[in-house]
Homo-oligomer: A and B are copies of this chain.
Amino acid sequence: MIDVCLLGTGGTIPLPRRRLSATLVRVGGDLVLLDCGEGTQVALRERGWGLRRLRPILITHTHADHVLGLPGLLLSLGFSGRGSEEPLTIYGPPPLEKVLGGLLVVESRLPYPLRIVTLSTSKVFPLEGTGGIEASCTGVEHDVPCLAYSLSVPRAPRFNAERAHALGLPVTQWGQLQSGQSVQFAGRTIEPGEVLGPNRRGLRLVLVTDATLTPSIVEFVRAGGEGADLLIAEGMYGSEEDKPTRWESLHMTFAEAATLARDGDARRLWLTHYGPSLDDPSAHLGQATTVFPATVLGQDGMTQTLGFDE
């Protein structure tokens, strides 16, 4: 299971009671941060899950409202005692390295290793230090390089204890089989498949922000039918008529986010990244629920635990 928290739900400009977009995911005690607008480090402290086990940070794009919290957070991690044995990896699209180089003008020497991984194409990669989370990303249409991310949390197959007993296997050898390795017992090799049930569905979380609704992004959410347990998507505008002409094609409305959830086989949708002129998101919720009933309006600090299917 995982815990998901919306640290901030604002787009463009931070407002009182609406921080800039950032999403925190906790798996075991490990934390993955997606985007880091100004003020994210305080939201992290308020959440109370600690800073020490912050593992990778995933950045969707280098617009100010998604990255300006990075220098302060990186410095604070150092002040909090993160040392040379605790590297931090930041993933994101270009020009991530240039932007971090600029922002870290205030402190170029961090007390821990910083690894910057620029992602310029669709990719699947393991998230180090998170107990097996697999991330994937794909490019979305925005006015700068921008990525959607998914996090897939694997679930171990059920271990068939009756079968293991019947084979006479000592309990001390169960762990090796559970982790997918064969063992030698009573003169023969026992394969994991003999004591493990079929593969079980894990959890899949998808984040799409600052994006045009396109068929390829629907397919990314759908993932060939796997879908998403939770889709977190921007609702920059309440409705189509709120879109300023200048940015018309760069951000999604509530209805577009809901369409993405429906067509992408998501189980539920959280809206986030509200435009600063969107005073009362609840006034527009119907625009989303008409298309996709399981839509929830995100708000700062909102947290939910997602469990595996029973």
Docked pose: A75 CA to B107 CA in angstroms: 22
- Chain A contributes a number of interface residues (CB within 8 A of B) equal to 33
Residue A166 CB within 8 A of the other chain: no
Docked pose: A19 CA to B68 CA in angstroms: 16
Contact A106 B67 (CB under 8 A): yes
Contact B72 A107 (CB under 8 A): no
* Stretch of A7-15, A81-89, A153-161 at the chain-chain interface: A7-15
Q: Which residues of A211-233 are within 8 A (CB) of B?
A: none
CB contact between A68 and one of B14, B98, B106, B276 (< 8 Å): that residue: B106
Residue A38 CB within 8 A of the other chain: yes
CB contact between A12 and one of B63, B71, B79, B102 (< 8 Å): that residue: B79
Residue A99 CB within 8 A of the other chain: yes
- Nearest to A98 among chain B residues (CB) is B105
Contact A41 B42 (CB under 8 A): no
Given A14-B72, A72-B14, A79-B13, CB of A106 within 8 Å of CB of B62: yes
Cβ–Cβ < 8 Å partners of A194 in chain B: none
**Chain A 12-37 interface mask (CB, 8 Å, partner B; 1/0):** 11111001000000000000000000
Contact A106 B64 (CB under 8 A): yes
Residue A101 CB within 8 A of the other chain: yes
Docked pose: A69 CA to B46 CA in angstroms: 19
Say how far A15's CB is from chain B's closest CB, in angstroms: 7
Say how far A1's CB is from chain B's closest CB, in angstroms: 27
Say how far A301's CB is from chain B's closest CB, in angstroms: 11
Contact A16 B42 (CB under 8 A): yes
Docked pose: A250 CA to B41 CA in angstroms: 25
Docked pose: A98 CA to B105 CA in angstroms: 8
Cβ–Cβ < 8 Å partners of A45 in chain B: 15-16
Contact B103 A16 (CB under 8 A): no
CB contact between A64 and one of B15, B72, B102 (< 8 Å): that residue: B72
Say how far A94's CB is from chain B's closest CB, in angstroms: 13
Cβ–Cβ < 8 Å partners of A46 in chain B: 16
CB contact between A72 and one of B68, B99, B101 (< 8 Å): that residue: B68
Cβ–Cβ < 8 Å partners of A106 in chain B: 62-64, 67-68, 99, 102-103
The winner among A38, A69, A103, A107 for most chain B CB atoms within 10 A is A38
Q: List 15 extra interface pairs beyond A38-B39, A102-B103, A102-B104, CB under 8 A.
A: A13-B79, A14-B41, A16-B45, A38-B38, A38-B41, A38-B68, A62-B106, A63-B106, A64-B72, A67-B106, A99-B105, A101-B105, A102-B106, A103-B105, A103-B106
Identify the 3 closest CB pairs spanning chains A and B, nearest first.
A102-B105, A64-B106, A102-B102
